[in-house]
């Protein structure tokens, strides 16, 4: 059938620019049918609520962008392989173009789809800077340490230039589409998404706008400002990257259009850390569930439900930890420095398994990326590749005083401490009674006492680490 359409199966690449699968479909000269499938039959790593909120708005933006170039987006819900096979059969599609990813679930879907579609599936790279198999050691092994991995990526000379968005997409007759509103991706009652709406503009246009603003105004100050959570010092591009509203390739080349300097170098290194996590997941599909360092399977974790709930709700009594967890709940995002602090507090001071924290982040982050989430939690826990040593235990009070010296970040997200001065806001249990009374703070009532003595928690963690090392 010379008139047979081709399908573009969108995944975590919800954009028109630098989209290899879309570009190949348009270049085929055939009518193009863009499709997105919501698969709720996935394993426990099915999309969390915050990500579903983002997905709704990202798909709405993609549909609008496709309309602008003469096309339309078909939405279907169901098992990925069965649904794409049905659409291909009913439309008589000649080929199906789709992206690839390091996610083991997505890789399994692609493997099954290759068989179900009788060889018509064309897999393209749409989510990473380089194909994971192209970044290898001299012996052909996968990298397990970040710095040599990053240097190997840099030695490749950078990714190819991004592909342009199509000016026009030849339209194919589309099968019946679901209504996005019928997917119920948005919260109803209670409506917990007000902070998300105030913080984010999902979609390709929003991603480009945030990137341009950051590169123009934030790149120069990035090396220092990125560590201070009260400042607008990070790019906040992680959810746009996760949903593929902008590609790492685009960011790489947009950053290189700016003057060389420490800010640009550090930003590129952060992109490469994200690439490193994807590479780890590609080569270690069990990364989200099991420690890479096998001795951590013997770690004597604690089943501390009250502690876990206090951490989730931002009620630990440690202000910087509570501020981070409340920022996460309100905005679906948390500052990177604070992510390390709250993660270290959970796995080291509370001795709660890193998988519990990983699962909570997965459900509450708008940038919940399987590779980055698993890789970073294992890094903090000390059990992953190139991990921070387990005995490196963040002191949340010292971190707070160093990176939020005036307490502005804490005041914003823990308003019950607003009237405490910089001297006492980081550790209110150390404040004299008069200072607490003047600030209207009653420990145990208006704000909780710490759920763990930090010195005792640290000693307990070091003892546990010593136990697993002695058995190695």
Could you tell me the CATH number of the domain that includes residue 221? 1.25.40.80
395: exposed, middle or buried (Cβ count in 10 Å: 0-12, 13-18, 19+): middle
Residue 189 belongs to a domain = no
Residue 42 belongs to a domain = yes
* Alpha-carbon torsion angle 132, 138, 141, 142, nearest 10: -40
Residue 267 belongs to a domain = yes
Q: What is the DSSP string of 399-452?
A: HHHHHSTT-HHHHHH-GGGTTS-TTTTT-GGGS-HHHHHHTT--BTTTBPPPSS
Domain boundary among 260, 283, 306: 283
Long-range contacts of 452-458 (CB under 8 A, 24+ apart): 452/307, 452/316, 452/349, 452/350, 454/318, 454/349, 454/395, 454/396, 454/397, 457/348, 457/349, 457/350, 457/351, 458/348, 458/349, 458/393, 458/395
Domain boundary among 283, 305, 336: 283
pLDDT tens for residues 392-418? 899 999 999 999 999 999 999 999 999
Which of the residues 252, 273, 282, 362 is marked catalytic?
273
pLDDT along the chain (472 residues), means of 10: 87 98 97 96 84 98 98 97 97 96 93 96 96 94 95 94 97 93 93 94 98 96 96 96 98 94 96 97 96 93 97 98 98 97 98 98 97 96 83 94 98 98 97 97 98 97 88 60
Residue 180 belongs to a domain = no
Told to judge if 252 belongs to the known catalytic residues of this protein, a careful annotator would answer no
Which of the residues 9, 45, 377, 379 is marked catalytic?
377
**Is 63 in the same domain as 104?**
yes
**Is 241 in the same domain as 355?**
no
Which of the residues 336, 395, 416, 429 is marked catalytic?
336
**Is 68 in the same domain as 132?**
no
Question: Does residue 104 contact residue 44 with C-beta atoms inside 8 Å?
Answer: no
Domain count, the chain: 3
pLDDT tens for residues 150-196? 999 999 999 999 999 999 999 998 899 999 999 999 998 788 999 99
**Is 219 in the same domain as 305?**
no
Told to judge if 12 belongs to the known catalytic residues of this protein, a careful annotator would answer no
Residue 314 belongs to a domain = yes
In this prediction, residue 385 carries a pLDDT of 86
Residue 176 belongs to a domain = no
Told to judge if 192 belongs to the known catalytic residues of this protein, a careful annotator would answer no
Indicate the pTM of the whole model: 0.96
In this prediction, residue 2 carries a pLDDT of 59
Residue 166 belongs to a domain = no
**Is 318 in the same domain as 442?**
yes
Q: How many CB atoms lie within 10 A of CB 121?
A: 22
In this prediction, residue 1 carries a pLDDT of 45
Residue 177 belongs to a domain = no
CATH assignment of the domain containing 39? 3.40.50.620
Told to judge if 362 belongs to the known catalytic residues of this protein, a careful annotator would answer no
**Is 140 in the same domain as 73?**
no
Told to judge if 273 belongs to the known catalytic residues of this protein, a careful annotator would answer yes
Domain boundary among 283, 318, 341: 283
**Is 133 in the same domain as 122?**
no
CATH assignment of the domain containing 433? 1.10.579.10
Told to judge if 303 belongs to the known catalytic residues of this protein, a careful annotator would answer no
Of 141, 201, 110, 457, the residue nearest 316 (C-alpha): 457
**Is 423 in the same domain as 342?**
yes
**Is 72 in the same domain as 211?**
no
**Is 366 in the same domain as 398?**
yes
Q: Return d(Cα 372, Cα 368) in angstroms, integer.
A: 8
297: exposed, middle or buried (Cβ count in 10 Å: 0-12, 13-18, 19+): exposed
Q: Which domain holds residue 407?
A: 294-470
Which of the residues 95, 204, 270, 275 is marked catalytic?
270
**Is 106 in the same domain as 134?**
no
**Is 238 in the same domain as 333?**
no
């Amino acid at each position: 059938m010379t008139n047979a359409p081709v399908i573009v199966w969108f995944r975590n690449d919800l954009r028109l620019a630098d989209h290899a699968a879309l570009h190949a479909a348009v270049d085929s000269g055939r009518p193009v049918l863009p499709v997105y499938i919501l698969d709720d039959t996935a394993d426990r790593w099915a999309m969390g609520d915050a990500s579903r909120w983002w997905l709704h708005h990202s798909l709405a933006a993609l549909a609008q962008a496709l309309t602008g170039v003469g096309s339309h987006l078909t939405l279907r819900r169901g098992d990925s392989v069965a649904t794409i096979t049905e659409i291909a059969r009913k439309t008589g599609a000649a080929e199906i173009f789709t992206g690839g990813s390091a996610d083991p679930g997505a890789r399994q879907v692609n493997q099954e789809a290759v068989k179900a579609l009788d060889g018509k599936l064309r897999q393209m790279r749409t989510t990473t800077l380089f194909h994971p198999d192209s970044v290898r050691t001299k012996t052909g092994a996968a990298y397990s340490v970040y710095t040599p991995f990053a240097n190997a990526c840099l030695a490749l000379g950078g990714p190819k230039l991004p592909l342009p968005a199509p000016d026009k997409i030849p339209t194919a007759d589309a099968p019946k589409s679901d209504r996005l509103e019928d997917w119920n991706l948005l919260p109803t009652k209670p409506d917990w998404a007000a902070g998300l709406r105030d913080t984010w503009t999902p979609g390709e246009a929003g991603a480009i706008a945030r990137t341009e603003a950051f590169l123009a105004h934030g790149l120069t100050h990035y090396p220092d400002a990125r560590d201070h959570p009260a400042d607008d010092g990070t790019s906040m591009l992680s959810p746009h990257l996760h949903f593929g509203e902008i590609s790492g390739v685009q960011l790489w080349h947009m950053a290189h259009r700016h003057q060389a300097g420490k800010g640009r170098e550090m930003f590129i290194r952060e992109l490469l850390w994200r690439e490193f996590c994807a590479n780890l997941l590609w080569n270690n599909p069990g990364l989200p569930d099991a420690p890479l360092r096998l001795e951590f399977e013997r770690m004597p974790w604690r089943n501390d439900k009250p502690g876990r709930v206090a951490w989730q709700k931002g009620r630990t009594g440690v202000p910087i930890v509570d501020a981070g967890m409340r920022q996460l709940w309100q905005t679906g995002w948390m500052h990177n420095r604070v992510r390390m602090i709250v993660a270290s507090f959970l796995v080291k001071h509370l001795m709660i398994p890193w998988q519990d924290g990983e699962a909570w982040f997965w459900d509450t982050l708008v940038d919940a990326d399987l590779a980055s989430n698993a890789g970073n939690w294992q890094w903090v826990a000390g059990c992953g590749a190139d991990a921070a040593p387990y005995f490196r235990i963040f002191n949340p009070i010292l971190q707070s005083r160093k990176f939020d010296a005036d307490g502005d970040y804490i005041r914003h997200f823990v308003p019950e401490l607003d009237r405490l001065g910089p001297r006492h806001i980081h550790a209110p249990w150390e404040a004299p009674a008069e200072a607490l009374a003047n600030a209207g703070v009653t420990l145990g009532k208006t704000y909780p006492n710490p759920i763990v003595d930090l010195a005792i928690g640290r000693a307990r963690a070091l003892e546990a680490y010593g136990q697993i090392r002695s058995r190695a």
